[in-house]
Amino acid sequence: MKKRKVLLLLLLLVFGISSVSTQAATEVYPTNWWTGMKMNQIQLLLRSTDDELASKKVSISHPGITILKTHQFENARYVAVDISIAPTAKPGVVSIELKGKGKTQKIKWQLDPKREGNGTTYAQGVTSSDFINLLITDRFSNGDTSNDRVAGMRDQSLNRDSIYHRHGGDFQGIINHIDYFKSLGVSTLWLLPVLENDRPDRTEHGYAITNHYKIDPRLGGAAKYKELSDALHKNGMKLIMDAVYNHTGLQHFLELDPPAQDWMHRWPTFTQTTYREQTLFDPYAAPSDKKRMSDGWFDNGMPDINHDNPFMANFIIQNMIWYIQEFGIDGIRIDTYTYSDLEFANRCNKAIMDEYPNITMFGETRVFGTANQAYFNANNLDLPYKSNLQASVDFQCLYYGIIPALTEPINWTNGVNKLYNTASNDFLNKNPMQNVLLLDNHDEPRFFSVVGENVEKQKMGFQWLLTYRGIPQLYYGSEVLMKGFTNPYDGLVRKDFPGGWSGDAKNAFTGKGLTKDEGEVQDLVRKLGNFRKNSSAIKTGKMMHYVPVDGVYVYFRYDDDQTIMCVMNTDSKAHEVDFKKYAERTSTFSEATNIISNDKLNVSEKATIPAMQMWVLELK
């Protein structure tokens, strides 16, 4: 063995290559960048899995790229390099050299041409003109069985009989059914996080990221994700990314092998967040409660990111820009927004908006109260902290709006009056039309179960969702009456979309096996979703509503070209509708057409709306 080593050394010396290695396991993050970006000074994080980098001299040989500064860490396997990319820099392979201990390591890093179409073909923003469909990729459709399991990954489960194992859904399955989304009037897809979640179990939801620069191969990987993005854009549709500022997965390399211990929040023992957002604005809150809210871990498998660490902050901000540019993202939903450092969130949001002026962002502010929610949005409040987040997922209109409207007894403050009262607090927000409305999602009980599996109430829910102010969001499968409660298992609301797998007895794409009720609700969503696509009043018009009387709530969506009248009867008995009562909006019209049934009503006469039904009327 010794003779072999000596012989190998002699050969290397003879050929003069003993000092050069291009095969060492050194990773660079971001994995690539672009010319012509507004963010033209970035921080490269170099990580070696088998060598110390701290003692090595770093140099870059590429016209237009200059090293500004290098940084070392407690963990000598890391080094950070601040670089500047001049406007004159050309795309190509950039050579990064690490010299030390008689060796030179060469790393190839890519500088790409900037994607064309910022604000027009990507980073377009998502607005009230859109209709979002929220998908769990693993649970929607399996278009490529070859990636159901990926060798080397910690989770090798594949069992559709388990709500917590992987089921095999992927990007190809989504691509295969773009026509289905279009048939519903859907303009935008929001996928739960698709970055790598290489953990032992519960990997279907995607919120425990283990590599910010790798698309999960079980979903199809980066190339297929780009194909999905391109396919959506070619069909006039948009793509929303699900971003996570607050935490990573326990198996992330920055947790398993951190540059320093302060990249994540550390506690003497496991300390979970209080989940009490009030402590962030409560004038009486104890500082320790505020700290635990923001710095406590969301879950014992999700380390809490320390945004006060400037290197970690740079890592997340640059990753957001990289992700949008690499995959052509149009909008961003930000997970667990209230638990992040809010000053960091503002900085990150600003960096994104500076680079992509048309892009829109909405946060998961799963809080309890309209003022609570407004605090985290761009708002009209005079407070020391001012958020620049454009909007939120509107849990207020869910918890204190449509759910009580259809499930509570009617009195002065309950029932549909809660929906009226909640909407009346829109004065708190800069732009309530940007809030994202929902009936359900991956963390909430299915709406059909919440309303007691009452089909008429489900129909009313969808008619409200698709006509109220804001951006409507459909959760996959609710259009065919998928049901389930989150308690005791959240997996019960994350079941497979019927027809997404070969051999499914029920197929929502074709209608095979659907019950009469399932088909009717799907048809309602399809009809109203497509009507909405061409309705200026609903998409961008104003809203006027009237105080509910006896459980009957009337609101209008209108502009100079169109008026839509929505009548919601939440009572257990029929009620008379006198159009003259709403003369401010009805006086110039003579006829009303029901968008769903096509029935005609004479606006000069009274009409009777049955119990627990809703009308969406176009006035002519």
Q: What is the number of helices (H) and of strands (E) in the chain?
A: 18, 27
In angstroms, the Cα distances linking 96 to 19, 42, 61 are: 15, 15, 7
Which domains are present in the chain? 19-112 (2.60.40.10), 132-535 (3.20.20.80), 540-619 (2.60.40.1180)
Vertex 166: Cα angle to 165 and 167 (nearest 5): 115
Beta strands in 49-145 (DSSP E): 57-61, 65-72, 78-85, 92-100, 103-112, 132-135
Q: Is 76 left (phi over 0), alpha (psi -120 to 50) or beta?
A: alpha
Asked if 126 and 329 touch (Cβ cutoff 8 Å), the reply is no
Active site residue 341: no
Asked if 105 and 26 touch (Cβ cutoff 8 Å), the reply is yes
> For the segment 23-79, what is each residue's pLDDT rounded down to a tens digit?
458 999 999 999 999 999 999 999 998 889 999 999 999 999 999 999 999 999 999
Predicted TM-score of the model (pTM): 0.95
Q: Name the token pair of 428.
A: 């708190």
pLDDT of amino acid 25: 86
Asked if 195 and 167 touch (Cβ cutoff 8 Å), the reply is no
Pairwise CA distance, residues 16 & 313, whole Å: 42
- Scan for tokens 């606006």, then name that residue: 603
Asked if 109 and 319 touch (Cβ cutoff 8 Å), the reply is no
Active site residue 364: yes
Give me the catalytic one of 51, 341, 364, 479: 364
3-state secondary structure of 174: helix
pLDDT of amino acid 16: 40
In angstroms, the Cα distances linking 77 to 46, 60, 527 are: 8, 19, 58
Residue 1 has pLDDT above 80, yes or no: no
pLDDT category, 11, cuts 50, 70, 90? Answer: very low
Q: Name the token pair of 20.
A: 């050069």
3-state secondary structure of 93: strand
Residue 22 has pLDDT above 80, yes or no: no
> For the segment 547-588, what is each residue's pLDDT rounded down to a tens digit?
999 999 999 999 999 999 999 999 999 999 999 999 999 999
Asked if 435 and 429 touch (Cβ cutoff 8 Å), the reply is yes
- The runs of H, that is alpha helices, within 332-486 are 342-355, 370-375, 395-397, 403-407, 416-424, 447-450, 455-465
Pairwise CA distance, residues 149 & 157, whole Å: 7
Give me the catalytic one of 335, 426, 440, 618: 335
* Per-position b or e across 341-350, b if 16+ CB within 10 A of its CB: bbebbebbbe
